[in-house]
Structure 1
């Protein structure tokens, strides 16, 4: 028991030393304006590279990712229909789809799916 505790303490100590060294050695000491600016064919940029983007695109992307993951969760249920109780399978799938539809209704009700204002 003592040897396990000793080994874990040594491992934690080595990890902390490595993280500390990596933190100290990775700091950039010289800040160069040319190296930190965006590269546009060797010329100075005409405008800021940090342009604001539409929040609408971000929300549509999040909605797409959520529904994409949910489709990936629904597809395997077709394969397990032969191996499970049909009643439990149907209740589970119905509940899952009901939660999806309630989420879609909430997004629609909040105006997230309206592209124009």
Structure 2
């Protein structure tokens, strides 16, 4: 799980270029709130890092779905997003665990 405060300010595009794929960068540039869009992608990536399927050394290799694309899944992981103007967050859960809990 990861949560980030949105706050004011612009996107640090050098950081975004270092941690995002080209598709993600294009989506950030097209978004009406690029900082919030960047943080939504970041919390998805960091939640996957925290469950051990990636590292912060190579966050661009975690080619996660761009926020708003459904279904938000990544190689057997379900990404549960939330947030708004103040903060955004994401939890990564194994898909089969989610199915067991529902069934």
Indicate the structure (1 or 2) with the bigger Cα radius of gyration: 1
TM-score between both structures, scaled by the size of structure 1 = 0.21
Structure that is richer in strand per residue: 2
